[in-house]
Structure 1
């Protein structure tokens, strides 16, 4: 396998693109590389146009992910090797998931040397990528919930997945959990201070109490049936091919409770009124879709209770994102804090975890 790992947009040369192309067809000749956009957040995301002599055989619009050039984001994502995890997802797991994902052209990571992921840009085939602050319609939300249920059902109650993908539950994930717990209190305090009136004042003490007891909370949240989850289902990680959704950004993929994806998705992707009106019915749709895909014994009432508890994570994630800075557009970050705080308050989510 040719080395395709690079560290900066300027490294995306014709020679580099040719090494990517050679993994597919050595008769294709690259003649040009044009960078069309660079977005720096949790990763550095680069859109490029690659000119070559066989556009009918290989896409020309590429989407490249490198480690973030923002020091705050790089500091948070480097130790738990999040981009390395996404590289392994595309190399080892993507072919077996039921949800639509971008076609990947190449993906490589090496300990100490970095990681590079090269995907076909979803716009190549007319798909539209979302933005983090988008508010989805009920129809769109229903389609995402159905896709997540099918994805979860594929890996539900299969003990072999722990043996097939041990890297998803190994030392790197343990390190991520340790860092999350160690930094929970200072980051929660800093994020709440920066959020100000975006978060109702009565939630402040509960949020700090949760952060101080985060390890116990995480233990409670993992005491349920495990499956494979995306763990970062905000609107900016969704793309739309006509009316059908697909999922981007698999850096946080892990074993967890399926309803955690639904809690994350609904709390960040719907405006508050839409969520209040439809979250119960969307949870029921999720339960029915699991049953339709062969998962027996689903209790909607228990799902509702677990949904409440799992709302705490998306709220925490958005507050921590704000505290760190440089990981999401600030306006979108503020909007997602408003949405998740409203969900926490509406369903009294902190009381759903025994702390």
Structure 2
């Protein structure tokens, strides 16, 4: 019989709760102590726990637990489209196939209308370092991430059978998320731009509102490309580093889409504008080369560059919406990410690349 591990708040993460978690894979292990190390509230409530137990070394003693956000604004945006439910299903059904470093999965439970709880091994226990949203990566670090994303995308590239296996990624919940994004696009864009003030150049502001008004049409255009599995939220805070190699955290927005969308999101958020400008052409060349090494050939450099630019409005929208809603990213980091993505869309005239 499966143990019930749903929790609503950090105070629910007791010894009895932890005991139910370990029963999933280690029925004879006894948990003797649970200590809350930290609580971080954003799009979800993220709790780091220290666990004392008499089990083997393979059972982590540092856990990372995700619960529905305690911030009502973030919860309002994430609950209806079931983003945490999607991440639970990703770890249960897809994470084992992903050729990327991801946190170890311990247990999860998801019940629509009642919430979801995801329990992972804390990557720091194995000596990894978790990134922060406002981190600025070096060109060498960015190259490593680009190479990993290319391997990830190549593995799932245009594989119809896998799309059928993970058809829940394009199911009713995902369509609801897209409908909500379209319905709220204009008011959230206007509110976010007002809050951002001079962080967004005047030349970008008008284009951004126009994009929001035609978001459905823009999304159709951006989805018209070779399909693969994409992370869809590749900012520095969702990257961890183990022995200088990157892995990805936070798979709430995982879906099928165009691979270069992850590259656009990553380069626009993870690099200072001057670093991105100096290296982005080389990064795209690296991406195409690694895809080719894994059997994905025939990619036209000019078309890849155009699609890279066309996907930049989405990370801009994501950061502006985060500011509009509030409580999703720490404000100072949110402001820095807006500066970076605003520079990217202005540099490449990205909104003009979408025919709306």
Short-chain TM bin? over 0.9
Identify the residue that residue 352 of structure 1 maps to in structure 2. 353
In structure 2, C-alpha distance between the alignment counterparts of 1:348 and 1:161, rounded to whole Å: 35
Tell me which moved more, 272-281 or 292-301: 292-301
* Partner in structure 2 of residue 339 of structure 1: 340
Unaligned runs of 5+ in 1: none
Shift of 1:55: 5.0
TM superposition shift of 1:108: 1.4
Please name the residue that 2:249 is paired with.
Answer: 248
Aligned positions of 1:233-244 closer than 5 A: 233-244=234-245
1:137-176 equivalences under 5 Å are 137-176=138-177
Aligned to 1:323: 324
* Aligned position for 1:113: 114
Can you list the C-alpha shifts for 1:293-325, whole angstroms capped at 9, x where unaligned?
Answer: 111211111110000000000000000000000
Q: What is the alpha-carbon root mean square deviation over aligned residues? A: 0.7
CA distance, structure 2, for counterparts of residue 55 and residue 129 of structure 1: 25
Q: Provide the C-alpha distance between the structure 1 equivalents of 2:206 and 2:344, rounded to a whole number of angstroms.
A: 17
What secondary structure sits across from 1:101 in the alignment?
coil
Partner residue in 1 for 2:263? 262
SS of 1:86's partner is: helix
Per-residue displacement from partner, 1:237-282 (whole Å, max 9, x unpaired)? Answer: 0000021000000000001000000000000000011000000000
Task: Give 1:26 deviation, angstroms.
Answer: 1.6
The equivalent residue for 1:77 is 78
Tell me how far 1:27 sits from its aligned partner.
1.7
| Aligned match of 1:310 | 311
State the Cα distance separating 1:162 from its structure 2 match: 2.4
Mapped to 1, the partners of 2:37 and 2:84 lie a distance apart of 22
Alignment of 1:187-226 (within 5 A): 187-226=188-227
Alignment of 1:90-101 (within 5 A): 90-101=91-102
Corresponding residue of 1:295: 296
Q: Distance in 2 between matches of 1:152 and 1:53?
A: 40
Equivalent residue of 2:94, what SS? helix
- CA deviations 1:3-57 (Å, max 9, x no partner) are 1111111110111101111111122110010001000000000000011112524
**1:190-229 superposed Cα distances (whole Å, 9 cap, x missing partner):** 0000000000011111111111111111111011111100
* Mapped partners of 1:285, 1:207: distance in 2: 30
Aligned equivalents of 1:296 and 1:203: distance in 2? 35
Q: How many residues align?
A: 355
- Please report how far the alpha carbon of residue 112 of structure 1 lies from its aligned counterpart in structure 2 after TM superposition: 1.9
What is the DSSP-based 3-state SS (H/G/I as helix, E as strand, rest coil) of the residue aligned with 1:23?
coil
Residue aligned with 2:118, SS? strand
TM-score (norm 2): 0.99
- Cα offsets for 1:65-107 (capped at 9, x unmatched): 0000000000000000000000000000000000100001111
* Structure 2: runs of 5+ lacking an equivalent: none
